[in-house]
């Protein structure tokens, strides 16, 4: 029987949750929002959730759909590589250099925390058959890669937008996903918040919550998707009012669950 060894990176995307535990790595806080008008330093704590020492490499790269507004060159990371003791934590600092060279507006970069294979990586084995019917054992080294966002604002934030459409989609596991498309103009992305009312079969309110949907790109049109949890059991409809974090009303929609 042939044996193949593969490295599998479990990737966790994160945006402004208090903390996140992704496979072997814990991160807190998960990203930051910084001023580009002055120098600022931000600190992120990285935790090793395993019983073995771990090495993590930290870097930045352009975020998807923000390639023209990347601020990776303005961020100094130190240290760029850390070794963490079992169940221990270490801090990483991000020094952001203020600049006068950028136009006013919102910018972004993606921070990457990548676990580097050590002496005893976690291994998952699976046997499969190749085209000739021969058994092949595949060993996967389970490593963690965490992606998070760092946003920067130069000058004054100016943004306008409007809801284009919204819908509910359910996956095969019964998870309820709220999808919304927006038009946008200005020098920043829309930071969308939804005020949600849950309605029963008679359109009577049975629950209410405020949900942070996410931050759009600076493209003229943008799509956001968010999984909805803690839905009251008797809910048959939802009534959603979308707004930007600064209070700009974007539109509303009533949808069936």
Express each pLDDT in 237-252 by its tens digit.
999 999 999 999 999 9
Q: Is 187 helix (H, G, I), strand (E, B) or coil?
A: coil
Co-location of 145 and 169 in the same domain: no
Co-location of 21 and 74 in the same domain: yes
pLDDT band at 51; cut points 50, 70, 90: confident
Co-location of 96 and 69 in the same domain: yes
Strands 159-170 and 205-215 turn out to be unpaired
- The full length of the chain comes to 257
Co-location of 232 and 204 in the same domain: yes
Of the listed ranges 24-33, 104-113, 147-156, 204-213, the least confidently predicted one is 24-33
Co-location of 125 and 229 in the same domain: no
* Phi-psi region at 246: left, alpha or beta (left = phi > 0; alpha = psi -120 to 50): alpha
Q: Residue holding tokens 């920067």?
A: 152
pLDDT by residue (tens digit) across 16-47? 333 444 468 888 888 899 999 999 999 999 99
**Domain CATH number, residue 205:** 2.60.40.10
Residue 12 has pLDDT above 50, yes or no: no
pLDDT band at 134; cut points 50, 70, 90: low
> How many domains does the structure of the chain reveal?
2
Q: In whole angstroms, how far apart are CA 247 and each of 5, 16, 161, 244, 251?
A: 52, 19, 12, 5, 12
Give the span between the Cα atoms of 45 and 130, in whole angstroms: 44
* Structural domain range at position 183: 159-256
Co-location of 194 and 135 in the same domain: no
């Amino acid at each position: 029987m042939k044996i193949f060894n593969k490295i599998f990176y479990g990737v966790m995307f994160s945006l402004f949750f208090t903390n996140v535990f992704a496979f072997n790595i814990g991160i807190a806080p998960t990203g930051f929002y910084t001023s580009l008008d002055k120098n600022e330093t931000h600190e992120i704590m990285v935790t090793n959730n395993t019983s073995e020492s771990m090495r993590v490499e930290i870097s930045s790269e352009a975020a998807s759909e923000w390639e023209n507004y990347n601020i990776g060159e303005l961020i100094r990371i130190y240290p760029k590589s850390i070794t963490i003791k079992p169940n221990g934590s270490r801090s990483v600092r991000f020094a952001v250099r203020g600049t006068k060279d950028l136009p006013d507006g919102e910018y972004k970069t993606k921070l990457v925390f990548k676990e580097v294979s050590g002496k005893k990586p976690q291994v998952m084995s699976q046997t499969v058959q190749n085209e000739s019917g021969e058994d092949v054992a595949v060993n996967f080294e389970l490593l963690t890669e965490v992606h998070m966002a760092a946003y920067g604002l130069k000058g004054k934030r100016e943004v306008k937008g409007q809801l284009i459409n919204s819908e509910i989609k359910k996956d095969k596991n019964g998870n309820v996903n709220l999808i919304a498309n927006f038009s946008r103009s200005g020098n920043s992305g829309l930071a969308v918040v939804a005020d949600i009312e849950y309605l029963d079969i008679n359109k009577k309110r049975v629950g209410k919550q405020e949900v942070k949907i996410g931050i759009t790109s600076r493209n003229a049109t943008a799509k956001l998707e968010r999984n909805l949890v803690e839905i009251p059991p008797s809910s048959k409809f939802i009534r959603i009012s979308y707004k930007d974090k600064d209070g700009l009303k974007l539109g509303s929609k009533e949808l069936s669950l």
